[in-house]
């Protein structure tokens, strides 16, 4: 077993702690974002009107974010939730750039952080 393959199988203690902190922060961010969509915050309603897909899409996006936030904190589902949230944020960044304008940087940052968690937590056999 090489040093590289050994380091890829299980994160060290410090990295594991950092990943848990990052997962908790991401879960809080996605819970807040998804919760605001589900609660019908006027800014979210207006944003999804601007996208033009209907309010059902706001509810769907909110559910994806809230379920993903909870799943980030469950060890068996962390990697999959982080991957799904990274894809969701990549789509959000594209939506900002192509359709609604505004600043895509928050979505890009959340995409990158979620992608990092997915990569580091992905099961290796």
The mean pLDDT values, 10 residues at a time, for the chain of 125 residues are: 54 93 98 98 95 95 98 97 98 94 95 98 87
Q: Is residue 20 in a domain?
A: yes
Predicted pLDDT of residue 124: 85
Determine the structural domain holding residue 88 and report its residue range: 11-121
Residue 113 lies in a domain: yes
The pLDDT assigned to 1 comes to 47
The answer as to whether 54 is a domain residue is yes
**What's the structural domain count of the chain?**
1
Q: Please report the pLDDT score of residue 102 as a whole number.
A: 87
Check: CB of residue 121 under 8 Å from CB of residue 19.
yes
Question: Is-contact 9 124, C-beta < 8 A?
Answer: yes
The model carries a pTM of 0.88
pLDDT of amino acid 86: 98
**Does residue 91 sit within a domain?**
yes
Print burial letters for 91-116: b (CB count within 10 Å at least 16), e (below 16).
ebbebbeeeeeeebeebbebbebbbe
Whether residue 3 lies inside any domain: the answer is: no
Look at residue 2 and tell me if it is in a domain: no
* Residue 117 included in any domain: yes
Residue 6 lies in a domain: no
CA dihedral 24, 30, 36, 38 (to 10 degrees): -110
- CB within 8 A of 107, min separation 6: which ones? 89, 90, 92, 93, 96
DSSP 11: -
Nearest partner of 24 among 72, 56, 66, judged by Cα: 72
Give the per-residue pLDDT at 8.
56
């Amino acid at each position: 077993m090489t040093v590289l393959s050994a380091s890829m199988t299980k994160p060290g203690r410090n990295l594991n702690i950092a990943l848990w902190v990052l997962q908790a922060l991401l879960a809080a961010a996605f819970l807040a974002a998804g919760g605001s969509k589900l609660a019908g915050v006027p800014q979210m309603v207006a944003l999804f009107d601007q996208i033009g897909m209907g309010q059902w899409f706001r509810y769907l996006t909110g559910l994806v974010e809230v379920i993903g936030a909870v799943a980030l904190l469950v060890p068996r589902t962390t990697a999959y939730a982080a991957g799904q949230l990274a894809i969701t944020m990549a789509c959000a960044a594209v939506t900002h750039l192509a359709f609604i304008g505004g600043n895509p940087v928050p979505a890009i940052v959340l995409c990158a952080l979620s992608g990092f968690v997915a990569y580091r937590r992905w099961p290796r056999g």
